[in-house]
Amino acid sequence: MAPPAATSTGESLARPEGWGGIVADWSSDQRTFKNVPWGKAMMWIFLLSDTFIFTCFLLSYMTVRMSTTVPWPNPSEIFALHIGGQPIPLILIAIMTFILISSSGTMAMAVNFGYRHDRVKSAILMLVTAAFGASFVGMQAFEWTKLIVEDGVRPWTNPFGAAQFGSTFFMITGFHGFHVSIGVIFLVIIARKVWRGDYDHGRPGYFTSRKGKYEAVEIMGLYWHFVDLVWVFIFAVFYLW
């Protein structure tokens, strides 16, 4: 807590206690977010809170799996696809992971070209990233359809073993798929604004930034890289364990 501020007459003004004092310190400190766009700072705060949520989900999954007395289904068998009459374990999940990891590369290049003020290449790469994300969501929808329609897996029951398998699977992958879907929508929106040159001319509207700055592209990149990183943990904990 900062010391009490002094007035021109030498009298001290007491700082608020608790959270009020923290807010007062940060709002009066010119160095807290010096030269940092508020949108970028708020995105970091949002990603931090989202990290706690995904961590709770994955810890809950591990706790349920280790504590249940009913045999847990083998992911290599549940998520296998039959190609040419032979089951290939995790082939769809491997393709989904490759697509999502590749989208991180295209998003990074989009941010790089944004720094260079090359709006055409930046917009195209963002649309490519959105296409990768839409492909991922489409494959996830296929995966869900197979489990629900063909295998009979439900959030409350599972013909392959422990009933908790369905609830944890749909909760974790569904929440992540929702993040990817939202990201695809915003990628298209930001790519359209970049293509039109909104950030070069400082055109007013939603998701704007300072004239000549491509901060929105960088903020979108932070979100997308986070979504990709979370999938790596889901892939390792849920599908490979």
H helices then E strands: how many in the chain? 8, 4
For residues 8 and 98, state if they share a domain. no
**73: CB partners within 8 A, 6+ apart:** 158, 160, 161, 162, 165
For residues 77 and 27, state if they share a domain. no
For residues 49 and 90, state if they share a domain. yes
- Considering the entire predicted model, what is its pTM? 0.82
For tokens 């070069």, the residue is 200
What pLDDT, on the 0 to 100 scale, is given for residue 196?
87
Total domains, the chain: 2
For residues 7 and 86, state if they share a domain. no
For residues 81 and 176, state if they share a domain. yes
For residues 18 and 126, state if they share a domain. no
Amino acid type, 78: I
What pLDDT, on the 0 to 100 scale, is given for residue 206?
66
Which residues of the chain are under the pLDDT cut of 70? 1-16, 22-36, 202-212
Q: Show the domain range for 90.
A: 37-239
What pLDDT, on the 0 to 100 scale, is given for residue 85?
79
For residues 13 and 101, state if they share a domain. no
Q: Which of 61, 57, 19 is nearest to 179 (CA)?
A: 57
DSSP 8-class letter at 17: P
For residues 145 and 190, state if they share a domain. yes
For residues 5 and 65, state if they share a domain. no
What pLDDT, on the 0 to 100 scale, is given for residue 11?
47
For residues 28 and 42, state if they share a domain. no
What pLDDT, on the 0 to 100 scale, is given for residue 26?
60
